[in-house]
Amino acid sequence: MCRHTFWSQASLAPRIASKRAGPKNIMLNVKIKRLNPDAKLPSYAHPGDVGLDLYSLEGVTVQPGGHHRFYNGFALEFPEGYAAIVKDKGSISKAGLHTVGGVYDAGFRGEYNVHLVNLSDKPYTFEKGDKVAQLVILPVAHAELTETDTLADSSRGMGQFGSTGKK
């Protein structure tokens, strides 16, 4: 006897909706230690934001072509299997400043900092308490590398910068 299961559209709707909605209200417990009494601790500007805003402890002007490391006055503890990544703030990157480096492993317990470089032709001034970057905490996969003499073909192959054309 052959059995077939038929699903009604109504019975599939909750499953489809939950797949489309994605994860909600996932909360990761992160411990924070204030290292500087003047530090403004990271914060989300709006509900649902991905990045925690990071703030300057000092006023400084970054000259064109120059760079500056902003110490943030705190340390974090979060579980293995996650990483904290420093990313540009939109308003600052629009002015030509960009983060350099900024990958923090779960085992790091030192002071967080942001290294910015000014790629514009104008100086940019930060005041104490200004936002300098954002911190995104993400789950990470650890790779098990297997050395081999060959790799499977792919549609991209060995194409590098600009390999897909301009249009």
Dump pLDDT digits (tens) for 93-143. 999 999 999 999 999 999 999 999 999 999 999 999 999 999 999 999 999
Pick the CATH number of 33-139 from 2.70.40.10, 3.40.50.300, 3.30.70.60, 2.40.30.10: 2.70.40.10
Asked whether the CA dihedral 135, 140, 145, 150 is positive or negative, the reply is negative
Cβ proximity of 100 and 114 under 8 Å: no
Would you call 24 exposed, middle or buried from its count of C-beta atoms within 10 A (0-12, 13-18, 19+)? exposed
pLDDT tens column, 47-87: 999 999 999 999 999 999 999 999 999 999 999 999 999 99
Residues ≥6 apart with Cβ < 8 Å to 8: none
* Range among 18-32, 101-115, 143-157 rated most confident: 101-115
- Domain limits, the chain: 33-139
Which pTM value belongs to this model? Answer: 0.79
Rg (CA), the chain: 22
